[in-house]
Structure 1
């Protein structure tokens, strides 16, 4: 977490920072993922391990492993006289082994020295207590974990802690602290290490603003280290996006003359389409159709490379300005996905010409552009591009599949090759498959077989990983349609994911200019054999949800799904995500169903963190590939949802007004 060495501080990371820290001292290892959710609020997920915890070993295991969540809120930012003050809750819904609360204040003196002082409860109140001002700390039976222990917060013994940091230069810093954590269970009760002193000392080296390395002397008996890596989603590691620059906007006075009869000349209009396509090809934009009259052009495009929707719109508008006759004053640009039109972005040619070099041109163009609904049917007289359907694409590449948090081996991985293929039969009709072949089998059979009393819809995931060699991960036929300008539909049949196959149907109502959408999905699925070939097991279920989606502004999005899950349980999932204009997404979700906590098992209910990292953010290139990671403390059967590909909201939302506005800064690039 943000802090000194082993103690917290009043500081906060810059807004949006995503960091990963690996630390180790003696028998104690920690891997912590933190995210600065807002300028003042941050959250952390920690995986901890303590060696020599079990003596004698339990099930052959001597190491204790634990998962925990933290929340921190900065009450005040640092001012001339006021310190930065943060209140924090550690391990708020885990087992409670790491539970503690604190209030920490940090003040900078000059430009090199920071001083921190604080008060801690729980773990942070276990050494050098000065009393219990808010009463005794009640014992809590955490049961299966996953429960808030609000009755313990800021109760029991309170103890002071303090520390100082000296910034020697831009890269080196020295720290010292007085710790109020007695490590009662680790040092006193189980003897995993000796705590001889409350004083810790350390030196840290930061080669750049994205990495920090630390070496520490801890508790008078151990040497520790940490490796810290941070990502600021608002700053690309390689600077701005790379790739060919845009065309200058062609003034109408310089526009090509197509003669007086071009409006009725199909050959001239086809030539216009082809010339526009030649310009757009370098950006990976494909024209699906074009309809032209004397003063308007309606262009439907497929963006296959650019990772920013307004940039694709801007590049398309420039291409039209270079090709269209001078009388064409309005550009209607319609982005397509899965063969379905998403929205109609209307740009006046006069605005494009007037604002190219104007101050605040991106904001001005955003205000003048219209985002309108669009029907599935083509306008009258539209010229379709040839050779788009049917279309076949395939890719063969490496993959890494991980297994996390197994008590015996918390980090395992398979490495192999994956073949993906897609056949676009006609607009809206897609046949696709994914086949994986492991080459290195690093994931072993779990020593902890599922003890779930629910149908094993997810808890046997390890068996699918072990026996799928090769694995037909997915083989589906999907039909996407748009029966009305603001209604989208999807029907998918086949092997929908690696554990289930069947039929999935979905409908979405999304108004182009509204920050919300409503959808419904129903599925009939049957559980697949562990080898992930063509066979099925006996279990089948009807599952489905009604979903509400809402953009909260500032890049924050909420989703609520209510319905029936794969194990037959009924409940709801609440998801909160923060999304950045460059495509990075960080979010959390929690599911509560009618399955009692004791029946659900360890963790009590399904919850987790999900992160989406676009490759373009790291490479700076023009690529749409995205890496997605979902971290669950435990994978259980309650609250499990079908993992079908191509859900409508993620397909349709990119070119709706709310998302376009958030990313509009790259329209002119």
Structure 2
């Protein structure tokens, strides 16, 4: 029976390749459908089959779909205009597979659009489905999509693995080896494009901007889910044809409904976010104060007299006035040095997620406060009370360019950017700057995912924290927590053969309530212009205390940074108090950081981890100018896959989105999450508060250049 369906698939494939000639008057179908539909797998596709189209660059989508007891939850990211990556967590209800009544599976997908749609030729894509994991959904494909007009698109492709199980045409690249996933988590490269291959095809029609109608011929026979041999039979596969409706409720939410395989009804919900499509267009922040222009020196030379600098109390008054106006702008003065022609402001940016915006507002305030003879403004943003960089602006340049059509670019061209000088003395600090005591109280949320017995666990409670800074660079900080509700303490006990440096989290949750989250002292310093240092000691995190030292070499104008961190760590008692267990370790890393100047940032850490294993972590993040960041990491150490346990090695993805994206109001806050398929003890790193690099680099050349467009806002 399956052979009877090969002909429609072959005809559809031919239609894709030949449609450009027949409809040459219509081109660039990708432009007509900037946001293609997502399928049940949460990746760009029709119903259950992929298409060759791409989501808008930077699109981040979360999809939840359900049919026949199969629930797929997928996080997809359009990494590049041609590259999409996905992480999926699937649940099979009452499946009775691999010893579990309800079976849960983690998987990764990757696809590459290697050919854009043109006037005559289709878009073409190659993809890997579930290429890291147990392989229950594993498949590979090559697919083409061509628009036959602004509303109709035809798709056809060839699939392998489970995408080659319905109506196959043979095995063009040899037999597919038997699956041996071991501990899981490793790429199943030996299977790629091996075994039977089968064609699939489909059509999409858009009667309106919001509505898309879908039909497809699926090459997935769902043998495991329908044969009832190694698992329970979830549904009856009566037909390879699927039909669906996709409806875009708004820019964020789309929903889909489907009739599947001649016997099932399916549903899909997708949420989409994009750095280029913020929830609030523009900024709702208060406009900056005016830039005060000085009188013409030729007409009013007396305005530029310098004797004011010697008058008693003048410098104190200027510091007080600047401090008050800057604090109203969300900028805290830590020091202000003033001479007849120069003002050097050291400040903390408390409000602006665009660092250049803080610099621009600080410059405007100085223009209103400083006497006309002060021509040079040196703006030194501080992180951990050490100068991150020094931005030098001529006041005359600010006055000349404030109304220029390309004021941002011109100002950046004449601005000086270099290393900050030494920390100023007490005389230049505003009254009450030090010592400083702050405190906070607020909710906390901790979560755990992917436990087969309960895929989502969480704990909610209150955290009380305080910080005391007696002098610049020295800080004492701590926090206590009280859980109010949650089930994190009900997870599985650790079965790790390695030292339990991370897998005892259930015991910490069960026995540590309330708990001292951390209590430490830290000192930050600068040994030289391009070198930054930190020493931290105390209860560093919920599971470990100890001593940590760090040196960071990072020239202001260099994309490269180098770091060295050494730690002595001891495992804390489960009750979250002051005691320690009988486990300690020397750990540390040599790190290299690199800004690729194209929105990507890489990091390589080589060293010894908490369980005593030695290896390296490679991270790659795509960072957007508005503060979005999406990345992935992987750690390989001398721990074998068998010793590591499920997952074989540590890996994951991480996402950070600034709160200003949702509110339009400047804020330093963000929401983010690191997602690991599973947390084990191998490749675990000590969590130290206040590591240097991420804070320092915000005010270096690469980051400031990206943010400079907001310097006048």
- TM beyond 0.5: yes
Alignment of 1:124-135 (within 5 A): 124-135=163-174
Corresponding position of 1:146: 185
Alignment of 1:613-628 (within 5 A): 613-628=657-672
Corresponding position of 2:429: 384
In 2, are the aligned partners of 1:555 and 1:662 still within 8 Å (CA)? no
Alignment of 1:281-430 (within 5 A): 281-378=327-424, 383-430=428-475
In 2, are the aligned partners of 1:299 and 1:332 still within 8 Å (CA)? yes
Alignment of 1:64-103 (within 5 A): 64-103=103-142
Corresponding position of 2:594: 550
Q: Deviations over 1:519-543 (max 9, x none)?
A: 1001111101112121211111010
Q: Deviations over 1:572-616 (max 9, x none)?
A: 000001111221111110000011111111111100011112212
Q: Partners in 2 of 1:231 and 1:368 — Cα distance?
A: 37
Corresponding position of 1:231: 273
In 2, are the aligned partners of 1:445 and 1:463 still within 8 Å (CA)? no
In 2, are the aligned partners of 1:572 and 1:591 still within 8 Å (CA)? yes
Alignment of 1:434-583 (within 5 A): 434-446=479-491, 448-583=492-627
- Quick check: 1:243 aligned with 2:289? no
Q: Partners in 2 of 1:583 and 1:263 — Cα distance?
A: 41
Q: Which runs of 5+ in 2 are unaligned?
A: 1-42
Shift of 1:254: 8.0
Q: Partners in 2 of 1:547 and 1:320 — Cα distance?
A: 38
Alignment of 1:45-64 (within 5 A): 45-54=87-96, 58=99, 61-64=100-103
RMSD: 1.7
Moved more, 539-548 or 581-590: 581-590
Aligned length: 664
Q: Deviations over 1:159-214 (max 9, x none)?
A: 11111111121222211111111111111243122111111111122121211011
Corresponding position of 2:65: 23
Shift of 1:475: 1.0
In 1, are the aligned partners of 2:538 and 2:547 still within 8 Å (CA)? yes
Alignment of 1:210-225 (within 5 A): 210-225=252-267
Residue from 198, 203, 207 that aligns with 1:159: 198
Shift of 1:140: 3.3
In 1, are the aligned partners of 2:89 and 2:107 still within 8 Å (CA)? yes
Q: Partners in 1 of 2:604 and 2:357 — Cα distance?
A: 31
Residue from 268, 271, 295 that aligns with 1:253: 295
Shift of 1:259: 5.7
Distance 1:462 1:376, change over 3 A: farther
In 1, are the aligned partners of 2:557 and 2:701 still within 8 Å (CA)? yes
Q: Partners in 2 of 1:581 and 1:595 — Cα distance?
A: 38
Normalization by structure 1: what TM-score?
Answer: 0.96
In 2, are the aligned partners of 1:93 and 1:149 still within 8 Å (CA)? yes
Normalization by structure 2: what TM-score?
Answer: 0.91
Q: Partners in 2 of 1:547 and 1:180 — Cα distance?
A: 46
Q: Partners in 2 of 1:344 and 1:276 — Cα distance?
A: 18
Moved more, 274-283 or 151-160: 274-283
In 1, are the aligned partners of 2:571 and 2:583 still within 8 Å (CA)? yes
Q: Partners in 2 of 1:258 and 1:357 — Cα distance?
A: 24
SS of 1:208's partner is: coil
In 2, are the aligned partners of 1:610 and 1:631 still within 8 Å (CA)? yes
Residue from 135, 152, 169 that aligns with 2:208: 169
- Quick check: 1:182 aligned with 2:211? no
Q: Which runs of 5+ in 1 are unaligned?
A: none
